[in-house]
Structures are given as C-alpha cells and as structure tokens.
Structure 1
Amino acid sequence: MDTGCALYVWGYLPKESWRRADLKLPSSASGRVTVELDEPPLEAGISVSITRSNWEVLFDKSSGLVRVVRDRQLPEELVEIADDVYLGLNGTVLNSFWLSPEFVE
C-alpha cells in the first residue's frame, strides 16, 4: 500500500456480460505500475474500483483472452504486472486490462 503498486486484478465479472471478440495480445513489457488517486486515498487492503466507469468486457474463446476496456480506439502500452495480467495504459491513464484466466467448471 505504501508504494501504490498495482499487484493484481480481481473482482466479480459474470461471463454473461462478456462480448465475443477476436483478441490478440499486443506486444508488452514486464514492469511496475503505480496508482495515484486524488480521492479517495489508497488504504490498506482496499482496491481501486472501476465500477463507476463504462467498461466493456471482451472475450476470445479460441485464445482464452479477456480484455476489459474503457475505449477500444485509444492507443495503449501494455505492461505485464503479474503472470498473465496486463494493464493497458494510455499515457498515465488506465484504459484496459488483459487477463488469461483459468476457467474451472
């Protein structure tokens, strides 16, 4: 919490809301992303919610990729912050995150 580093992505995201799409993971670099918020301040054990924004969830069944994106048209740089967890940044703004989830039936 002291560093503000993004460590992982988590949350409840029912598959029924996902839209089918052809997804190919763009080139990326491993790295660190630091989160800075004006309000509310970061608190221990608390995540940053994206529910107040319009996000689209895309899923490619053949690749298994999930992309949660704010604006598909924005150019972005992908940073892998954990195994199979990528944040898509447009400058200093989070535009998307990409996941390769393991599905358990």
Structure 2
Amino acid sequence: MDTGRTLYVWGYLPRESWRRAELKLPISASGRVTVELEDPPLEADISVSIARSNWHVLFDESAGLIRVVRDQQIPEQLVEVADGVHLGLSGTVLNSFWLSPEFVE
C-alpha cells in the first residue's frame, strides 16, 4: 500500500449486472501503474473502491473478456499490470479495466 502500485483487480461483480458486447482487447503494453489519491485515501491493505462510481460491465463470452468501463468513447492506453489484468488509462485517469477470467463451475 505504501507504494500505491496496482497489483490486481478484485471484488464482487454479480454476473446479472453484465451486458453482452463484442469485445476485442486493444494492444496492451506490460507495465506498472501507481495510484495516487488524496480523497478518498487508499483503504488500508486493500484497494481503491469504484463502488460509488458509474461503471458499466461488458462481457464477451466467446472472447472470454470482461471490460469494466466508465466512458466507452474516451481514447485510452492499456497497461497489463498482471496476467490477464489490463488497466485502461486516459492520461492519468483510470477509465477501464479488462479481465480475462477463468470461470470455475
């Protein structure tokens, strides 16, 4: 937490809230992303919450991709911060994250 470095994405995301969409993962560079927040502060040993924001969850079953996005019209650059976890940045603002989840029945 002291470094603010993103390591992964986690949380509760009920499948009922996902909308079907055709998704293709854009080119993504491997790298590091550091989070700096003043308000609200980073939650101790946990994360940055997006629970109080308007995010849309898109899912492409055939591609095996989930995209959680604020604004689909904003151009962004993708950075892969962990295997199958891509952050979509518009300048210094997090606009989306892309996941390639493994589903276990």
3-state SS of the aligned residue for 1:26? coil
Identity across matched positions, percent? 81
Counterpart position of 2:55? 55
Counterpart position of 1:77? 77
Deviates more, 1:36-45 or 1:65-74: 36-45
3-state SS of the aligned residue for 1:97? strand
What TM-score does the superposition give when structure 2 sets the normalisation length?
Answer: 0.96
Q: Which runs of 4+ in 1 moved over 6 A?
A: none
For residues 46 and 2 of structure 2, the distance between their equivalents in structure 1, rounded to whole angstroms, comes to 12
Give the RMSD, CA atoms, in angstroms.
Answer: 0.9
Q: What letter matches 2:99 in structure 1?
A: L
Q: Structure 1 unaligned runs (5+)?
A: none
Q: What letter matches 1:39 in structure 2?
A: D
For residues 94 and 2 of structure 1, the distance between their equivalents in structure 2, rounded to whole angstroms, comes to 19
Counterpart position of 1:36? 36
How many positions carry a matched residue from both structures? 105
Shift of 1:2: 1.5
For residues 42 and 24 of structure 1, the distance between their equivalents in structure 2, rounded to whole angstroms, comes to 31
Equivalent runs, 1:1-105 vs 2, <5 Å? 1-105=1-105
Shift of 1:44: 3.6
Q: What letter matches 2:23 in structure 1?
A: L
What TM-score does the superposition give when structure 1 sets the normalisation length?
Answer: 0.96
3-state SS of the aligned residue for 1:13? coil
Shift of 1:43: 4.6
Q: Structure 2 unaligned runs (5+)?
A: none
